[in-house]
Structure 1
Amino acid sequence: MDTSHEIGEAVPGDALRETGVTIREAGPDDAVAGVRPRWVALPETSGEVAALMRVSAEHDLAVVPVGDGTKLGWAGPPERCDLLVDTCCLTLDGGTVVEHSSGDLVAKVSAGLPVDVLSSTLARSEQELALDNPLPAGTVGGTLATAIAGPRRFRYGTARDLLIGITVVLADGTIARSGGRVVKNVAGYDLGKLFCGSYGTLGIITEATFRLHPVPADRRWVVAELPAFEVRAAESTNGAGAPAFPGRPGPPGGLDALVAELAASQAEPSAIEADWPDGPDALGGPTLAVLVEGTAAEARARAVQALIGRRGAARVTGEPPGWWGTLPGEDVLLEVRIPPARLGGALRAIAAGELPVRMRGSAASGVLRIALAPDVGERAFAGFVSRVRDRLGHLGGRLIVVTAPRELAGGVDRWGPAGALPLMRRIKERFDPGRRMSPGRFIGGI
């Protein structure tokens, strides 16, 4: 009997087990965007991750890192996946998962640490990592790898702005560190900025060091139900006197102006979010919510209320609206990034997609997330992406398909055009010449 195939299957698995890391056979629930791996590894230290990567390099195994798995369906499916490296058991030196220097407002954490656990740990010292994870679960590593951020990105920035140190394991097993207390860069690269948003295609994040902030003494939200005219003003033109998008809603000039006024106001809001339950083409207007934090929050919130009051009734509350800091949907999710000054054009572009949507996001940061119905249909979905992406391109914006069923996402380019693609390919070649780290997951098939 020919057992060559069985031997070929067993040898890499045996080599992985010889590292001393816990290895198990993968099951259906371990699939990465529909692609099932052969093994799952549960390393406990950066050194064990390095050992796994050396074995994977020797046997040409494709590797995908995973945390809670909440975002495994995001981005494209890997071209192949042999080993899933689960970061759930990772610890720092000494066996801890958090090293919190409260006096320095700095925390070094394991990449496998759940974000909500980190939040509760820091809260005991009245400090926080100001990222506002929009998912109910997720790990530090997954948050960095997908570069996701919530409403307060307007004031505090994204993960790459709060990250001051990182430890990663590269495809050949090299442990590399940059920033924080230890500086060991790889060929001059800023590892933190490269690995944020890389979707596991450059290596595995094992540790991260963050700059923290004190928990604000007070918080107030100003919430307003804006009238429909804010998003259905007069038709825009194409420069020749004709409507740019005949029959579609015009520019929300009032909303644009209001957001700009709020962003520049002395009230110094931490976030300006908008929610369109039925999309920008609906008869109703959006709900606008503005967060004010810190000293004199009540008085500053009243000033915001007065600014909004000229356009619609606003109320001040100590609690956020129910939709605050959450995604509009998780089955078919798209993201629009647009210069904030062109928010009106982005809304017209989305309305021109001619599909019902639910949308919310940061009006002041120019990041909008769109949810479509899971049963939208392949042709309708492809048409929507094409129409919206074409119009956004003229505005300096872009549309990304964050997640969608394979039958929908397979008919479109998930990422769209990217002028930096040649540079990104060179970086991929530098860090992963064998294309074994999450191959095909990122833009351009990287």
Structure 2
Amino acid sequence: MTRNRTSTAAPDLAALSRSLDGAGEVREAGPGDAVDGVPAAAVVRPTSIAGASAVLREATGQGLVTVARGAGTALDWGCPPERVDLLLDVTRLNRLVEHEAGDLVVVAEAGLALRDLQEAVGEAGQELVADVPRARYTAGSTVGGALATAASGPRRLQRLALRDLVLGATVVLADGTVATSGGKVVKNVAGYDLAKIMTGSYGTLGIIVRAAFRLHPVRPARAYVLRTGPLEEVADLAREVIGSQLAPAAVEIDRQAGSDEAVLAVLLEGTGDAVAARAAETAALVGGAVGEEPAWWARLPVGDTTAKATATLMGVNALLRAARSAEQAHGAAVAVRGSAVGVLHAGITTPTAAALAGVVTRLRAAAPGPGEGTVTVLTAPAELRAGLDVWGPVGGLELMRGIKQRLDPGRNLAPGRFVGGI
């Protein structure tokens, strides 16, 4: 089926405004109101969860397609939606609802910027370990946006990914139902862990409006150990560090495009003397030296196309080698950077769509399936993305479609943005 990504339904702005009952505003969309190149017809900014619920109920009643937007730092991730009749901007849902420092728990609305949340909990010597890409963090990436895209970064090695830190979520479904699950909520929805299934769903199942997270105490000292070497050697050393008793907070690899070498960077966190001792042990183990935080730390590699590649611990070396062979075979530049535990990103620059498809195919051959690894194209120029399978093999697709059918039977929430046209 050919999807029209430009035509939109005509929203009844007056009815949408009435549904808010003063809890927000509605306006016609402007030139900057688009999702991955698909222009919106109208924009709504609710100021309360009740307002978000009422306006979404009205939008779905009008047959509109609604797409959520936070700071807009990842609106070009995933696939373009089939259309955007209504852009639901959550940035006025930006309260820090509760911070129970003694329990290491924070509850925040979806439009709160992560940097503002970190500043608030940091006053108690705590942090949410949500290492979203630094460019997104600086640009104001929100709680809801980070969850919707399943963002994570270097320190997931020791303290897990954001999806593992979310205790509960409040979500507005397409029909306006306010659903909750997990901890720090009043009403649970039987059968679904909404916090988990919404994480990484790109707003296709429901719109996250509030979430509760587990925090960690800020560790007062940190040190970096760096080592540059051949690809296979660096991958082997990374596995040694991960399997050691050194308890690294992060083990990252950076392989620049065109290089047969990579940089290993190990982060140690804790108290001063203990960190210094562990850093010295790590440097001896890998044959490296204690140094400063690398300039590339927590940043996505540069390229016209960005892909997320996962692999088993043993499969990281294969991904690095596949990047090099893809460059040689397709005249491409493929930079690879990320966690040696097996969650990396590739920055890919290719001359043609065929070359990009060839690079992605080679990377997927090194990460051959959901059980052993995957390669997902997050962003790509429209002229190169046409005809490209951006998601690749995905396990449980029929289950995902069943959840979509249950939660959004009319396909009113960002249809087409997620895997399988969901």
TM-score between the two structures when normalised by the length of structure 1: 0.86
**Counterpart of 1:69 in 2: which secondary structure?**
coil
Indicate the residue corresponding to 1:89 in structure 2. Answer: 92
2: CA distance, partners of 1:177 / 1:331:
39
Indicate the residue corresponding to 2:3 in structure 1. Answer: none
2: CA distance, partners of 1:61 / 1:220:
51
2: CA distance, partners of 1:98 / 1:320:
34
**Counterpart of 1:372 in 2: which secondary structure?**
strand
Q: Give 1:315's match in structure 2, choosing from 277, 283, 289.
A: 289
1:350, CA displacement in angstroms?
2.3
Structure 1, residues 220-268: CA drift from partner, whole Å, max 9, x if none?
Answer: 1111222xxx32xxxxxxxxxxxxxxxxxxxx1x333312210121110
1: CA distance, partners of 2:303 / 2:125:
32
Q: Give 2:325's match in structure 1, choosing from 333, 352, 355.
A: 352
Amino acid at match of 1:315: A
Instruction: Within 5 Å, give how 1:255-404 maps onto structure 2.
Output: 255-279=234-258, 282-283=259-260, 285-295=261-271, 296-309=274-287, 314-317=288-291, 319-329=292-302, 331-354=304-327, 355-363=332-340, 365-373=341-349, 376-393=351-368, 396-404=372-380
- Segment drifting more, 192-201 vs 327-336: 327-336
Indicate the residue corresponding to 1:99 in structure 2. Answer: 98
Indicate the residue corresponding to 2:6 in structure 1. Answer: none
Amino acid at match of 2:395: G
Contact 1:105 1:211 (8 Å CA) reproduced: yes
Structure with bigger strand share is 2
Structure 1, residues 373-432: CA drift from partner, whole Å, max 9, x if none?
Answer: 3x6322211222223223431792211000011111122011011121011000110110
Indicate the residue corresponding to 1:125 in structure 2. Answer: 124
Indicate the residue corresponding to 1:239 in structure 2. Answer: none
**Counterpart of 2:326 in 1: which secondary structure?**
coil
Structure 1, residues 268-314: CA drift from partner, whole Å, max 9, x if none?
Answer: 001000111225xx24x1111100011311111111011011xxxx2
Indicate the residue corresponding to 1:146 in structure 2. Answer: 149
- Segment drifting more, 193-202 vs 12-21: 12-21
Contact 1:63 1:81 (8 Å CA) reproduced: yes
Indicate the residue corresponding to 1:43 in structure 2. Answer: 46
**Counterpart of 1:210 in 2: which secondary structure?**
strand
2: CA distance, partners of 1:218 / 1:409:
44
Q: Give 2:169's match in structure 1, choosing from 166, 169, 173.
A: 166
1: CA distance, partners of 2:68 / 2:166:
20
Contact 1:108 1:209 (8 Å CA) reproduced: yes
Contact 1:275 1:361 (8 Å CA) reproduced: yes
Contact 1:359 1:368 (8 Å CA) reproduced: yes
Structure 1, residues 147-173: CA drift from partner, whole Å, max 9, x if none?
Answer: 010100101111111001111000110
Are 2:32 and 1:58 equivalent residues in the alignment? no
Amino acid at match of 2:126: Q
1:183, CA displacement in angstroms?
4.9
1:114, CA displacement in angstroms?
0.8
Amino acid at match of 1:266: Q
| Gaps in structure 1 of 5+ consecutive residues | 1-7, 232-251
Contact 1:185 1:191 (8 Å CA) reproduced: no
2: CA distance, partners of 1:170 / 1:316:
50
2: CA distance, partners of 1:141 / 1:331:
26
Contact 1:330 1:403 (8 Å CA) reproduced: no
| Gaps in structure 2 of 5+ consecutive residues | 1-8
1:332, CA displacement in angstroms?
1.4
Contact 1:218 1:297 (8 Å CA) reproduced: yes
1:345, CA displacement in angstroms?
1.6
1: CA distance, partners of 2:73 / 2:364:
27
2: CA distance, partners of 1:15 / 1:329:
45
1:443, CA displacement in angstroms?
0.3
TM-score between the two structures when normalised by the length of structure 2: 0.91
1: CA distance, partners of 2:54 / 2:228:
56
Indicate the residue corresponding to 1:244 in structure 2. Answer: none
Contact 1:24 1:41 (8 Å CA) reproduced: yes
CA RMSD of aligned residues (A): 1.6
Amino acid at match of 2:364: R
Instruction: Within 5 Å, give how 1:210-289 maps onto structure 2.
Output: 210-226=213-229, 230-231=230-231, 252=232, 254-279=233-258, 282-283=259-260, 285-289=261-265
Amino acid at match of 2:337: R
Q: How many residues align?
A: 400
Contact 2:204 2:414 (8 Å CA) reproduced: yes
2: CA distance, partners of 1:346 / 1:42:
43
Amino acid at match of 2:280: R
Indicate the residue corresponding to 2:398 in structure 1. Answer: 422
Indicate the residue corresponding to 2:26 in structure 1. Answer: 23
1:82, CA displacement in angstroms?
0.5
1:98, CA displacement in angstroms?
4.0
Are 2:416 and 1:413 equivalent residues in the alignment? no
